Structure formats: structure tokens, C-alpha cells
């Protein structure tokens, strides 16, 4: 990994192998897939149900001149997650990056109004899902070093009302990210998080249906830049943290919120 960094200079660079984007068929996940491919790495992605969107993402990866691969994956199935990473490593030779871009389809609710069943489903899908991904991919990243990038929430440092179903599991993911960074660094493994503000893609498309236009406009005005980010901007941040240009960054949570926390 050190030699790869020296060769790269200031240009994002990846070693041989593949970047895996878990949840790569979603709006934000696809943005990550496309930017990773644009910066010179093959990309394997997972999806839950929507094969058509996953196939479109693979087509975009291949249009950038890289190899792409999509597979359905149930993150609640521990053995299936292990098989998936073993298969990807066999197909591409090595795994150098894992981007966790999974977001649960949540209800915008105040803390006192959260449905207990939805709480448990969200913790299971987000936090436990990330843990299974980490455990299954770790043996492969230990072979040559690599990088984990988890997409979390800007609501962790500054709580937005009605967003607790997003922030609680993401906070747990960030704790795990810091643990990975500290304990796996000796293997050349880095781990970082991107604390997402409002991104005009993916989950936000569904959240719009639960709130008024006035509420959406207020969300925008709560940012210093008075706008939402795009999925490709998230992808650029993921490239920065996972590639050679971020080679000395680990255990960090990048606040990606357009100035919401200012």
C-alpha cells in the first residue's frame, strides 16, 4: 500500500482489486459507484430488491471503462454475507475498499412516537448489517490493507428533530469505525465515516413524501450553503477517504453537511 501511495502523488489511486459498495443500487450508493469507477477502480455492488437499478449502476461503471458486478444480498443472513465477500474476492483477486451505503427506509418520528418494531428493524438493518459486512470482509482486507468508508449522519453531532431512527444506528456504526481504525491499523486498514447532511437522492426522495414543501425548504435554509448535496458529491468524498490521497486519514468522521452544524 505504501508504494501505491508514493506512486500516486496527488491523484486518487487504488491498488489492484475491487471496491465493494454495499447498497450500491440506491441513489447515494450509485453516486459512489460511479465516482469510484471514474477514478480507476473496478466496483462490485450489492442491492436488496431492485435488480434493474443495480444493472443500471453496473452499466454506468462499465461505461467508465471499469469492470462492474452486482449481486442481491440480505444483510441479515450472516453466512450469505460471508459467501458474498468470498465470491467477490475470487472474481476480482482482492478487495481494497468497502463502502457501506445502506440506509433504512425510516419513518420521520419524534423520539416518544417511535414504533418499537421499527426501532428494532432499523438497528438490525443498519448497525448489525454493517457489523456483518465488516466481519465478512475483514480477512480479505487484512491480506493487503484497505479502507472502510461508512455513510452515517450529520444528525449525530447536531440532532435534527424526528431523525432519531437514522442517527442512533449510525452513531453505533461510527463507534465501530473508530474501533476498526484503532485495532486494524496495524494491518494497513483504515476506517472512516462520512456524516451526511441532506442529500438530494436515495432516502430523501422517500422522506419528501412525509413532510411539507415548507419543511423541505426549512431544511435547505438550515445549511450555510442553502442547498442540498448531490450523490456524486458524496462519491467524491468517498473517493477522497478511500484512495491514496487520504492514505493518512483514519478513525475520522467527515462532516458533510453544507454547514448545517455551523
176 is written with which cell numbers?
A: 465501530
Residues 205-221 have a mean pLDDT of 71
- For the chain, how big is the Rg over CA atoms in Å? 17
- Whether residue 216 is contained in a domain is answered as yes
**pLDDT at position 250 over 50:** yes
What's the confidence (pLDDT) of residue 5?
Answer: 45
Centre a 10 Å sphere on the Cβ of residue 210 and count the other Cβ atoms it contains: 12
Q: Is 189 left (phi over 0), alpha (psi -120 to 50) or beta?
A: beta
Query: Is 197 among the domain residues?
Result: yes
Taking residues 126-135, what's their average pLDDT? 98
Say what the pLDDT of residue 165 is: 94
The answer to whether residue 172 is domain-embedded is yes
| Structural domain contains residue 168 | yes
91 phi and psi, to 5 degrees? -70, -40
Range of the domain at 34: 2-256
Q: What is the pLDDT of residues 60-88, one digit of tens each?
A: 999 999 999 999 999 999 999 999 999 99
**Reported confidence tier of residue 3, pLDDT bands at 50, 70, 90:** very low
What pLDDT does 108 receive? 86
Residue 109 DSSP symbol: B
Q: Dihedrals φ, ψ of 43, to 5°?
A: -135, 130
Average pLDDT over residues 135-152: 98
Residue 9's pLDDT is what?
Answer: 54
Report pLDDT for 221: 84
Residues recorded for the chain: 262
- Rounded to an integer, the average pLDDT of 34-42 is 98
Mean pLDDT of 99-119: 93
Mean pLDDT in residue range 243-252 = 98
Q: Does residue 262 form part of some domain?
A: no
CATH code of the domain in which 120 resides: 3.40.50.720
Of residues 4 and 53, more confidence is placed in: 53
- The C-alpha cell at 27 is 441513489
Of the chain, the percentage scoring pLDDT greater than 90 comes to 80
Q: Within a domain: residue 75?
A: yes
Into how many domains does the chain fold?
1
Report pTM. 0.91
Backbone angles phi, psi at 119, to 5 degrees: -55, -50
- Going by the DSSP 8-state scheme, the letter that residue 163 receives in this structure is B
pLDDT of residue 203: 58
Q: Tell me what the mean pLDDT of segment 112-116 comes to.
A: 96
220, containing H or E segment: helix 213-221
* Angle at the Cα of 250 from the Cα atoms of 247 and 251, rounded to 5 degrees: 170
Domain assignment present for residue 261? The answer is: no
Amino acid at each position: 500500500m505504501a508504494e501505491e501511495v508514493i506512486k500516486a502523488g496527488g491523484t486518487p489511486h487504488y491498488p489492484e482489486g475491487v471496491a465493494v459498495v454495499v447498497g450500491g443500487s440506491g441513489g447515494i450508493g450509485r453516486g459512489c459507484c460511479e465516482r469510484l469507477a471514474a477514478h480507476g477502480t473496478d466496483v462490485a455492488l450489492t442491492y436488496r430488491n431492485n435488480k434493474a437499478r443495480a444493472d443500471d449502476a453496473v452499466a454506468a461503471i462499465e461505461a467508465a471503462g471499469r469492470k462492474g458486478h452486482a449481486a442481491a444480498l440480505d444483510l441479515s443472513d450472516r453466512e450469505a454475507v460471508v459467501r458474498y465477500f468470498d465470491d467477490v474476492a475470487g472474481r476480482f483477486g482482492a478487495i481494497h475498499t468497502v463502502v457501506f451505503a445502506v440506509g433504512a427506509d425510516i419513518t420521520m418520528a419524534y423520539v416518544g412516537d417511535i414504533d418499537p418494531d421499527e426501532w428494532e428493524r432499523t438497528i438490525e438493518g443498519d448497525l448489525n448489517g454493517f457489523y456483518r459486512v465488516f466481519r465478512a470482509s475483514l480477512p480479505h482486507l487484512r491480506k493487503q490493507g484497505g479502507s472502510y468508508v461508512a455513510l452515517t449522519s450529520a444528525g449525530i453531532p447536531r440532532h435534527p428533530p424526528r431523525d432519531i431512527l437514522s442517527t442512533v444506528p449510525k452513531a453505533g456504526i461510527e463507534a465501530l469505525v473508530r474501533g476498526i481504525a484503532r485495532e486494524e491499523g496495524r494491518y494497513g486498514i483504515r476506517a472512516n465515516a462520512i456524516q451526511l447532511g441532506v442529500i438530494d437522492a436515495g432516502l430523501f426522495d422517500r422522506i419528501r413524501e412525509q413532510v411539507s414543501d415548507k419543511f423541505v425548504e426549512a431544511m435547505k435554509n438550515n445549511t450555510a450553503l442553502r442547498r442540498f448535496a448531490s450523490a456524486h458529491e458524496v462519491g467524491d468524498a468517498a473517493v477522497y477517504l478511500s484512495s491514496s490521497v487520504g492514505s493518512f486519514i483514519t478513525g475520522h468522521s467527515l462532516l458533510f453537511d453544507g454547514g448545517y452544524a455551523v
